Amino acid sequence: NAGVTQTPKFRVLKTGQSMTLLCAQDMNHEYMYWYRQDPGMGLRLIHYSVGEGTTAKGEVPDGYNVSRLKKQNFLLGLESAAPSQTSVYFCASSQILGYTFGSGTRLTVV
């Protein structure tokens, strides 16, 4: 009963480096989401997916790419990290009702 698992939990990147954040869910949920959380700004949607093989842009998609090759996994990529991408990233999954969130990835870009 893991729910939603995010890896890694912490990461420090240098400006211009790339990385991939992994989200895995074991609830067979159709919908998956990536959010970023910044102080005083709540949770902002980056990208989301309504099923395997599908992705769509959210509120703040610039600088990020995603892939959903398998139903249980949703990957968030940063091709060239910038300091403005320093944030806490949360993945969530949903069937219809409320979301189930992962515990987050704290990313610092220096």
Partner 1 sequence: GQQLNQSPQSMFIQEGEDVSMNCTSSSIFNTWLWYKQDPGEGPVLLIALYKAGELTSNGRLTAQFGITRKDSFLNISASIPSDVGIYFCAGRARETSGSRLTFGEGTQLTVNP
**Where along the sequence are the contacts to partner 1 (CB under 8 A)?**
4, 31, 33, 35, 40-45, 48-50, 56, 58-59, 90, 92, 94, 96-104
Number of Cβ within 10 Å of residue 21's Cβ equals: 21
User: Please, what is the minimum distance in Å from the beta carbon of residue 53 to partner 1?
Assistant: 14
Phi and psi at residue 7, to the nearest 5°: -135, 145
Cβ burial 76-101 (10 Å sphere, 16+ → b, else e): bebeebeeebbbebbbbbbeeeebeb
User: Please, what is the minimum distance in Å from the beta carbon of residue 80 to partner 1?
Assistant: 27
Q: Which residues pair with 31 in a beta bridge?
A: 94
User: Please, what is the minimum distance in Å from the beta carbon of residue 16 to partner 1?
Assistant: 28
What is the Cα–Cα distance from 44 to 36, expressed in whole angstroms? 5
Q: Closer to partner 1 at the Cβ: 14 or 97?
A: 97
Q: Closer to partner 1 at the Cβ: 4 or 75?
A: 4
Q: Closer to partner 1 at the Cβ: 14 or 62?
A: 62
Q: Closer to partner 1 at the Cβ: 14 or 98?
A: 98
